Structure 1
């Protein structure tokens, strides 16, 4: 039977075998592609759900951020008022307590010098 086969028949047989092997390889490749597409769809769906949750929380996050900013602004304003009050207190202390006290000390020091000069002359 094989002895009577001609060359073109052997060629057709080889082409048929190559076609079957190619078809099997193509089927396996398409099966892997289908699995990959399922994975991609799962990832997209999962990300879509996550994005929807984030978008739903944006309003709450924005409100909380606004409240924090307002609290910080109030704290800064309070700190500013405190610094102004401390500055006024320091100026008042300097003008009404420290300056007269330093003048008195300088005056007393001058008197002590004069007394020391008079006692050293005697």
Structure 2
């Protein structure tokens, strides 16, 4: 059967077999590429849905953030007013309570020294 075959005929047979193998391999590659593209498309669709949900919530998040910032500003303002009030109270206490008490203590110490010296002289 192959006794009368020429070399060019064998070459054509090998080229045909290689073409069939190449076609099968190409079909498998295209099938895998199709599956990969389907997976990528599914990921894109899922991400698009997630991005849309996030975009819908951005306004709410921004509004809530603004409210929190306003609350913080009010709290800081109130705290500043309290600190100013405490500072005024401390100054008032110092001027009208502590300073007179310290002066009285100083005078009392001076008087005790004077009385102490007089009592030492009498002995």
Same fold, judged at TM 0.5 (above): yes
Q: Which residue of 2 aligns with 1:94?
A: 94
- Whole-Å Cα distance in 1 between the matches of residues 29 and 3 of structure 2? 38
1:84 shift after superposition: 0.4
Query: How many aligned positions are there?
Result: 122
1:86 shift after superposition: 0.5
Question: Does residue 84 of structure 1 match 2:84?
Answer: yes
Question: Does residue 12 of structure 1 match 2:4?
Answer: no
Q: Which residue of 2 aligns with 1:114?
A: 114
TM-score normalized with structure 2 length: 0.98
- Unaligned stretches of 5+ residues in structure 1: none
Secondary structure at 1:2 match in 2: coil
Secondary structure at 1:4 match in 2: coil
Q: Tell me the C-alpha RMSD between the 2 structures.
A: 0.5
Q: Which residue of 2 aligns with 1:105?
A: 105
Detail structure 1 runs of 4+ shifted over 4 Å in the superposition: none
1:66 shift after superposition: 0.4
